[in-house]
A and B are shown apart, each in its own frame.
Chain A
């Protein structure tokens, strides 16, 4: 039997993500190293400087250029990577569409931070929720280990010929990015077995010249190309489930596919959340179970593609659900809430409430989740802001 060299240590989320990119054997990295940039690219730069990682690192003058550089390198068939956060991500917005439209399977890490004004560098998922319609898959992690493993699974899923869409992998600012916790560094040989080298079918190759990024007309194939992206997002659902299961078997992990369920089997009530809020909710679910409340948790891992079918299956015997969002759509409710009620419409008729928490990094406490659970138990529906001060 082949020896497996796994190494367990404690490290921050940002270091874990950098090791994830290293394990995925990325060959090109481009980044703009100023706030709100993170220590992910700093760590990768030092790995390259110390000859621990064989990759080209290009420092550019903006996030827009960083993703443009990664776009270009990926188009030559080289596995490419970048990381950003908050305003940096917003500055990339145009290039996000170009990467997905060009069907480049790039993986990017995003540390979820608030969008100003006022200036705020703390945890808030508004930055990535803002990018919902850019054609990128979106994954939200609840631990440093998951953040690391998701980079590796991310490339495997994105590069699948049925998918060929980029993927952004999220960690909540500070709560994962600067928090140290146990992480197992995967065995490189096993990762190589799981994730083969990138073999990009359509790429810039001087021996085989082709045109990219060309012009298209209303009567051309523009509309068909956009529909194909939607079809690929749908196909990604199966690919995500299969590849996650393969990873679980190879590395003895237990990740859900698009969602992860906790104590849902006999639950009457359900909490639904993403990222580290879900982790705290899991802790609270145990507490509430001890008090006799039959409550469970659905943790959304993938926001795009959204797990509509899983949600319908999971909520069919539930009396009421509460959807917790660390972002808000001004004029309506939380983003996940909108997706959930849309999934249920015409099929399952239960009260569902939207809870807005942790905006701008406000701490999400045990008592906040308990309050949410209490409201859900009363089978009410509405939009509630939790732990918000009265300032007017």
Chain B
């Protein structure tokens, strides 16, 4: 079973990202569960969402404490939460940032993608309030190989509320432009 934890802020689409990822893996014949942790719901507040992917039915209903992969939608969250808490050995952290992965002092396999620039370029939200969740999933597909680019594109097409072509283009661009220090393998 693979466990993925999304960290973002209210309004960025972390919950939708966890659901699109689940839809992509489901389309590949996997068992999936995706769920949000609802704190006090308000725009800008830290939000956590979870996805589990397995080859057999998933019974575990707890939150995710030992993720294989952490997706950070907003570097602000790095200051307020310990996003790598419980991350498995050799785990992967994918961060929305224009910086190089080497600039992050995180004891894990770090990948970065400039999801804000990608989202803005494709007209997804504004620079102040970009919609970056689909870009993060493009990066996720490339870095982890857990789901194919095609599955993420299809799940994006059927799950985003609007701007379907723009979101799909953002997925592709993030897939091609994500930066990682080395080839990564999930477990």
Cβ < 8 Å to A, chain B residues 1-41 = 19, 22-23, 26, 31-36, 38
Query: Is A186 at the interface (CB under 8 A from chain B)?
Result: no
Query: Is B177 at the interface (CB under 8 A from chain A)?
Result: no
Closest Cβ of chain A to B154, distance in Å, is: 13
Q: Are A175 and B23 in contact (CB under 8 A)?
A: no
Closest Cβ of chain A to B149, distance in Å, is: 20
- The CA-CA distance from A178 to B63 in the complex, in Å, is 13
Whether A283 touches B63, Cβ cut-off 8 Å, given contacts A178-B36, A179-B33, A182-B32, is: no
- The CA-CA distance from A276 to B58 in the complex, in Å, is 12
- The CA-CA distance from A364 to B60 in the complex, in Å, is 10
- The CA-CA distance from A283 to B33 in the complex, in Å, is 15
Cβ < 8 Å to A, chain B residues 103-120 = none
Partner of A181, one of B32, B62, B65: B32
Q: Are A182 and B26 in contact (CB under 8 A)?
A: yes
- The CA-CA distance from A258 to B36 in the complex, in Å, is 31
Whether A10 touches B32, Cβ cut-off 8 Å, given contacts A174-B38, A178-B38, A182-B26, is: yes
Q: Are A175 and B22 in contact (CB under 8 A)?
A: no
Closest Cβ of chain B to A140, distance in Å, is: 13
Query: Is A49 at the interface (CB under 8 A from chain B)?
Result: no
Partner of A276, one of B22, B23, B31, B61: B61
- The CA-CA distance from A331 to B103 in the complex, in Å, is 57
- The CA-CA distance from A121 to B65 in the complex, in Å, is 22
Whether A280 touches B59, Cβ cut-off 8 Å, given contacts A10-B26, A178-B38, is: yes
Complex interface: chain B residues within 8 A of A279 (CB) = 59-61
Complex interface: chain A residues within 8 A of B33 (CB) = 179-181
Complex interface: chain A residues within 8 A of B59 (CB) = 279-280, 282-283
Partner of A175, one of B19, B26, B31, B61: B61
- Nearest neighbor of B52 in chain A, beta-carbon distance: A181
Query: Is A363 at the interface (CB under 8 A from chain B)?
Result: yes
Query: Is A371 at the interface (CB under 8 A from chain B)?
Result: no
Q: Which 3 residue pairs are nearest across A and B when measured between Cβ atoms?
A: A179-B35, A283-B60, A283-B59
Complex interface: chain A residues within 8 A of B36 (CB) = 174, 178
Partner of A179, one of B23, B26, B31, B34: B34
Q: Are A180 and B19 in contact (CB under 8 A)?
A: yes
Q: Are B61 and A280 in contact (CB under 8 A)?
A: yes
Complex interface: chain B residues within 8 A of A10 (CB) = 19, 22-23, 26, 32, 34
Supply 5 further A-B pairs (C-beta < 8 A) apart from A9-B26, A178-B36, A180-B19. A181-B33, A181-B34, A182-B32, A283-B59, A365-B65
Interface size class of B (residues with CB under 8 A): 10 to 19
Cβ < 8 Å to A, chain B residues 54-108 = 58-63, 65
Q: Are A181 and B38 in contact (CB under 8 A)?
A: no
Q: Are B26 and A280 in contact (CB under 8 A)?
A: no
Whether A182 touches B63, Cβ cut-off 8 Å, given contacts A10-B26, A174-B38, is: no
Interface string of A157-186 (1 = CB under 8 A from B): 000000000000000001100111110000
Q: Are A363 and B63 in contact (CB under 8 A)?
A: yes
Partner of B35, one of A175, A182, A277, A365: A175
Query: Is A366 at the interface (CB under 8 A from chain B)?
Result: yes
Central interface residue in B19, B60, B61, B65, by most chain A CB within 10 Å:
B61
- The CA-CA distance from A232 to B48 in the complex, in Å, is 46
- The CA-CA distance from A10 to B155 in the complex, in Å, is 11
Complex interface: chain A residues within 8 A of B58 (CB) = 181
Closest Cβ of chain A to B63, distance in Å, is: 5
Q: List 9 A-B contacts (CB under 8 A).
A: A121-B38, A174-B35, A178-B35, A179-B33, A179-B34, A276-B61, A282-B59, A283-B59, A365-B63
Closest Cβ of chain B to A208, distance in Å, is: 50
Closest Cβ of chain A to B109, distance in Å, is: 25
- The CA-CA distance from A235 to B58 in the complex, in Å, is 35
Closest Cβ of chain B to A372, distance in Å, is: 14
- Nearest neighbor of B15 in chain A, beta-carbon distance: A178
Closest Cβ of chain B to A361, distance in Å, is: 9
Closest Cβ of chain B to A306, distance in Å, is: 24
- The CA-CA distance from A122 to B63 in the complex, in Å, is 14
Complex interface: chain B residues within 8 A of A121 (CB) = 38
Q: Are B60 and A180 in contact (CB under 8 A)?
A: no
Closest Cβ of chain A to B157, distance in Å, is: 15
- The CA-CA distance from A121 to B34 in the complex, in Å, is 19
Q: Are A366 and B31 in contact (CB under 8 A)?
A: no
Whether A182 touches B31, Cβ cut-off 8 Å, given contacts A10-B26, A174-B38, is: yes
Q: Are B34 and A366 in contact (CB under 8 A)?
A: no
- The CA-CA distance from A174 to B38 in the complex, in Å, is 8
Q: Are B32 and A280 in contact (CB under 8 A)?
A: no
Partner of A180, one of B35, B62, B63: B35
Complex interface: chain B residues within 8 A of A276 (CB) = 61
Complex interface: chain B residues within 8 A of A364 (CB) = 61-62
Interface string of A272-311 (1 = CB under 8 A from B): 0000110110110000000000000000000000000000
Complex interface: chain A residues within 8 A of B35 (CB) = 174-175, 178-180
Closest Cβ of chain A to B135, distance in Å, is: 21
Complex interface: chain A residues within 8 A of B31 (CB) = 182
Closest Cβ of chain B to A386, distance in Å, is: 13
